[in-house]
Structure 1
Amino acid sequence: MKSLIVGDRPTVERLAERLKSASSRTEYQRIQCMLIRATLGSSAAEIAQLLGWSTATVHVMHSRWAKEGEALFDVRERGGRHHQHLSAEQEQELLAPFVARAQAGGLLTVAEIQQAYQERTGKTVARSTVYRLLERHGWRKLVPRPRHPKADVQAQAALKKTPPRGTPRGLAPG
């Protein structure tokens, strides 16, 4: 069988050093896969059993090592904001005047921020986009409103003055 991984001293030392500085579990296991093969000469089945992988995965990793070399270990993390309108720095610049106004005790509305966002990007965005933007930058609603906007203050005051039915003061005549 052709050996895809050469177990020479410089390769083993490079892999051992890289193993110490691995930043993720995926990268660590990939380096282990190559290091075990280079130092012990273990078969793909043995390596798979040690790492909890399938034999096919080990074969793929060894093949990729032969083609790509150490680029195999540069694992790109999943996720991210692939469809963003503004970068994080641009968002911070957009929010800067609103932050200054809020720190001075001013009241902010999402509609104002949404308007500024739309002017900056040149696109219409939903209000939820602005709420997510504010959440990303650590903003939250601190003060609940004191009363419902449609509340009838006079009706509430009148209700407080009438005693409930069935109490000695609120007995119905008769």
Structure 2
Amino acid sequence: MARPFTGQGSLEAARKARDEARTADELRIALAVLLPLEAGLNLTQTALVLGRSRHTTCALRTDFCARASGLRATRRKKTELRNRAQSTLQAEAAALDAALAGAAQGAVLVIPELKEKIEAHLGHSVSLSGVYRMLARHGWRKVAPDTEHPQGNAQAREAWKKNSRPIWRKCAPDSPDNNPSG
């Protein structure tokens, strides 16, 4: 005979989690605890109802019960720090707003200078690639400048274009210039 399910102490927490679930994953976790205890389903049947493997369903149950009983720390909210992030998204946004005040009006950004401003605002060092990722994360994108040099002479460039010798010439298909064999 199979062992009876444990987790009676987590039953109220599972009911509350079921009622407050906002995502399908949160609902699945609560149901992984509730279905065996309230509906009498075994682990295989519960896994079938949840659409997960037997192993995953068991892991969901044990993880929820451990968190509900206080044996493990509760999960962080999405608004808190991401995996190994040193700053919250709100702190990053505030640092970028302070550092990019002139950029919204069309000023040119120089990333090493921006990096120093962000580091001063956040209070810790940030790598250059971290600055680029932070800009992308908050919706800033690189706008490529024109292909002209700011001190270039547009009239001289146009005169050179008109008077330069053509490198490519279009030939008729049967002309001797188009025959590679000679």
Distance 1:112 1:23, change over 3 A: same
Q: Larger deviation: 61-70 or 44-53?
A: 61-70
Per the alignment, residue 112 of structure 1 pairs with 113
How does 1:121-140 map onto structure 2 within 5 Å?
121=123, 123=125, 125-126=127-128, 128-140=129-141
Q: Percent identity?
A: 22
Deviation by residue 1:120-173 (Cα, 9 ceiling, x = unmatched): 5464733x3322222223222346324257978646522313464869xxxxxx
Structure 1 contact 118–125 (Cα < 8 Å) conserved: no
Looking at structure 1, the residues matched to 64 and 88 of structure 2 have their Cα atoms a distance apart, in angstroms, of: 35
Q: CA deviation digits over 1:31-51, x for unaligned, max 9?
A: 112221122211222222222
Task: Give the direction of change, closer, same or farther, for the CA distance of 1:26–1:77 in structure 2 (3 Å limit).
Answer: farther
By how many angstroms is 1:113 displaced? 0.9
Task: Say how many residue pairs are matched.
Answer: 160
- Structure 2 contact 32–46 (Cα < 8 Å) conserved: yes
Counterpart contact for 1:48–1:58, Cα < 8 Å: yes
2-structure distance, mates of 1:151, 1:3: 79
Query: d(CA) in 2 for partners of 1:66 and 1:155?
Result: 74
Farther off after superposition, 143-152 or 19-28: 143-152
Alpha-carbon distance change, 156 to 104 in structure 1, aligned in 2, over 3 angstroms:
closer
**Equivalents in 2 of 1:37, 1:148: separation in Å?**
71
2:38 match: 39
Q: RMSD of the alignment, in Å?
A: 4.2
TM normalised by structure 2 equals 0.59
Q: Which runs of 5+ in 2 are unaligned?
A: 171-182
Amino acid corresponding to residue 96 of structure 2 in structure 1: L
8 A Cα contact 1:94 1:117, kept in partner? yes
Query: How far apart are the structure 1 equivalents of 2:99 and 2:66?
Result: 52
Q: For the structure 1 residues 125 and 68, does the alpha-carbon distance in structure 2 shift closer, same or farther, using more than 3 Å as the test?
A: closer
Q: Tell me the distance in 2 between the aligned counterparts of 1:129 and 1:43.
A: 48
Letter in 2 for 1:47: T
1:142-161 alignment, distance < 5 Å: 142=143, 144-147=145-148, 154=156, 157-161=159-163
> Where in structure 1 are there 5+ consecutive unaligned residues?
168-174
Contact 1:33 1:47 (8 Å CA) reproduced: yes
Cα 1:40–1:80 change in 2 (3 A) is same
The higher-RCO structure (CA 8 Å, 6+ apart) is: 1
Contact persistence 2:14–2:34 (CA under 8 A): yes
Residues 98, 108 of structure 1: 8 Å contact kept: no
Distance 1:150 1:101, change over 3 A: closer
Give, in whole Å, the separation in 1 of the partners of 2:119 and 2:64.
47
Question: Using a 3 Å threshold, how does the CA distance of structure 1 residues 64 and 99 change in structure 2: closer, same or farther?
Answer: closer
Q: Name 2:174's counterpart in structure 1.
A: none
Equivalent position of 1:82 in the other structure: 84
